[in-house]
A and B are shown apart, each in its own frame.
Chain A
Amino acid sequence: MNLLHDKKFASIENVQQGLKNAEYICSKKIATTVYLAYHLEKPILVEGPAGVGKTELAKTAAAFLGVSLIRMQCYEGLDESKALYEWKYGKQLLYTQMLKDKLNDVLKGAKGLSASIDKLHQYNDIFFSRSFLEPRPLLKALQQKDGAVLLIDEIDKSDNEFEAFLLEILSDFQVSVPEIDTIRAETKPFVFLTSNNTRELSEALKRRCLHLFIPLPDPELEREIIRIRVPGISEKLRIQLVSFIQHLRELDLKKIPSISETIDWARVLLLLHADKLSADLISETLHIILKFEGDIKIAEEHLYEMTRKAIKEAAI
């Protein structure tokens, strides 16, 4: 992969610009980490509040590199057969049925049981070969010739055992399939792991990754994001909207609105042909940014004050 994309990763600025061209506005910190991960050939563990664009980063990286994105969603009870590989049992069964007649030919001339078994042994690897292997996301990522971006989403939702199982793949980019051999990556995939911090990840896993914490964006960055993602929106509304969201985040809410909610809201306002914020407009569309009844009530109490502030700030 290195030889293919060295140009894109020549400098941190290049990475930042490249991600921007793929409609992902990121801080220099994110660009630096991606740049490092590429050159050190290490996975990135991305943490941060929900909806700040952790998954999006991986998707954009795939677009930036021009390779396919292979995504694995983690959940409790996820195991090897779903993540790595499985034997195609059905196909194996079908083939043995179909080849039943051939068996006679093969065994022809063999006398006694042990001779037959010896003869069969000459063919024993046929049914456990690569053509009967069903690759799951992890194996698929290793098999891609041009490299791939592997996204292991919400790793904190998986079990401890699965995390331990990931270690081999993340450090050496290889997996062992007992019946065949160790399969090594042809081109090392670019790996992103995301976590919402519902549980502490193991030291061993963290040690193998670069760590990136994406916080909620500052106003300037958020305005830029909205400008790129929702192009039709008017300048004035964009500034007012971001300012309002920033104030909203200071309240004591159960679920603080994140970037994805800001983008959704901007799209809705665009659909409603709004060109500036007003208290009525906000209270009608508040349910798009806030997802809990309690939160909406709290926000409504401060609605006028916050709207006033947002409009005032935007005027400066």
Chain B
Amino acid sequence: MEQILKDFISALRSSGARISIPETIDAMNTVKLTGYHDREVFKDSLSAVLAKSFHEKEIFEECFYKFFSFDTFPENTGDCPESLAPEIMEEISPLSQMILSGNLGGLAASIREAAQEVHITGIRFFTQKGLYIHRILRHMGMDKLKLDVKHLFQQDTFYSKQMAEELEKGKDYLFENVKDFVEQQFALFSPSVTENLLEDYLKSIKLSNLEQRDFHRMHSIIQKMVKRLNDLHSRRRKTSKRGQLDFRKTLRNNISYQGLLFDIQWKKKKVDRPDIVAICDVSRSVETVARFLLLFLYSLNKSLARIRTFIFCSNLIEVTHIFDEYPVEEALVKLQSGIGLGILLGRTDYGQAFRDFEESRFHLITKKTTILILGDARNNYGDSQTGILKSMHERGKRLIWLNSEPRSFWGIGDSEMKKYLPYCHLARECNTVHHLERVVDSLLSLES
């Protein structure tokens, strides 16, 4: 039982539930207490010990049904020949005997046994399926079965031929069942590895090459990233600022000690959360990247209190409220189609965008503000309005430009990046999630 429980826990782990060693020990104790005769009780008690959040409960349910499903062989191969010649039966291998006598439970058990022998729990990639099927079959005695079939055919009597055919059928059937079994085990034990591989891959791939179907996965990666960064930085700030005596509070608290100051109170300096103005280019030249940049801004918007978001193409509009009101997918579709927002999706015009910003929203920039611009700076040879960018640079705390093109392309063709460069505190190439993470990290740490 212990082995089965261990396997089950590793199946849970690979599906994404985090289970520690003490919890495993608890699970063992639990099973000792409740036993495993009652399936419901068994499930409930393991669930209480192992799955510790609503999300994990869902994973648990799914895994439990997959893992503890009983795969008896469905009634199959027709009736085994009634006239089994006992003398032949004694000669053939145990596996063949089981097939001929229709011992389905025995077959299922022997598959499980063989699977444990060949360590099926180590299966990670779908390419390993064939290998494991082969190993299990060999372990069960497939070779002997084949030999039996050969011998029976050679004997050339009516009974032996009939049995040989029966065995052939049984062999195919067995193969199918082992295949199903391996599939099932693969589904149980592999997901996290595959998932991790995929995540790593997604993090380093260029944003413009990402496909729509990876969108959800990407969203969760970015959310994780934003949360981690947020946790990291908000915690650091809490402890770093203390040490000024709060005299009034100290006096008040110490009245009961006859004014003797022995319970001293410190003033804690309140630290500002980052105050960010983000301006994102959504024109066609950056369309594919923009989707993910917007996704990123969305996550940022959810975790930082003070962020104002603007998008532009031919003109500039504020979209903070869209992020606040709609769930992520709706919001992104709305922003990319631009319907009902008053944005003109014509030629990209950085000059116009900057003018719009200066006209109506310039007051947002204070000496605490970090300005974040996301775009490729390809201005279709229009007026670049570097003057406005310069005043933004002077007025704000920092100006960061994330460009989706590699550095060597800056300033080539209609790219105005070289002109904007002097007014950026930081200009980075940003086209993978790794880049994003690095930028945000520096953004937050310099903030505090």
Task: Give residues in A with beta carbon < 8 Å to B.
Answer: 12, 28-29, 32-33, 35-37, 39-40, 42, 44-45, 47, 89-90, 93, 197, 200, 203, 206-207, 209-213
Contact = CB atoms under 8 A, between A and B. Distances in A.
B23 A211 contact: no
B217 to A, nearest CB: 21
A209 B26 CA distance: 10
Contact of A90 (B18, B48, B256): B256
24 contacts: A29-B44, A29-B47, A32-B44, A32-B45, A33-B48, A36-B33, A40-B26, A42-B26, A44-B48, A47-B53, A47-B54, A89-B256, A89-B257, A93-B257, A93-B258, A203-B18, A203-B20, A206-B53, A207-B20, A210-B49, A211-B49, A211-B51, A211-B52, A211-B57
Interface of B: 18, 20, 22-23, 26, 29-30, 33-34, 40-41, 44-45, 47-49, 51-54, 57, 256-258
Contact of A36 (B22, B23, B30, B258): B30
Contacts of A29: 44, 47
Given A12-B34, A207-B20, A207-B23, A93 B44 contact: no
B33 A45 contact: no
A213 B22 CA distance: 21
A40 B33 contact: yes
Contacts of A37: 48
B256 A213 contact: no
Given A93-B256, A93-B258, A211 B53 contact: yes
Q: Lowest 9 CB-CB distances: which A-B pairs, in order? A: A206-B52, A211-B52, A32-B44, A33-B48, A210-B48, A29-B44, A32-B45, A89-B256, A39-B33
A33 B40 CA distance: 12
A12 B44 CA distance: 12
A45 B52 contact: yes
Contacts of A93: 256-258
Given A28-B40, A40-B26, A207-B22, 5 more contacts: A28-B41, A93-B258, A207-B52, A211-B51, A213-B54
B48 A212 contact: yes
Q: SS class of chain B's interface: helix, strand, loop or mixed?
A: helix
Contacts of A35: 34
Nearest to B20: A207
A214 B91 CA distance: 60
A213 B57 contact: yes
Contacts of A206: 52-53
Nearest to B263: A89
Contacts of B30: 36, 40
Contacts of B52: 45, 206-207, 209, 211
B45 A36 contact: yes
Contacts of B54: 47, 197, 213
A158 to B, nearest CB: 16
A210 B22 CA distance: 12
A93 to B, nearest CB: 7
Contacts of B44: 28-29, 32-33
B208 to A, nearest CB: 34
Contacts of A89: 256-257
Most chain A CB inside 10 Å of its own CB: which residue of B29, B41, B52: B52
A112 to B, nearest CB: 24
Contacts of B22: 207
B34 A32 contact: yes
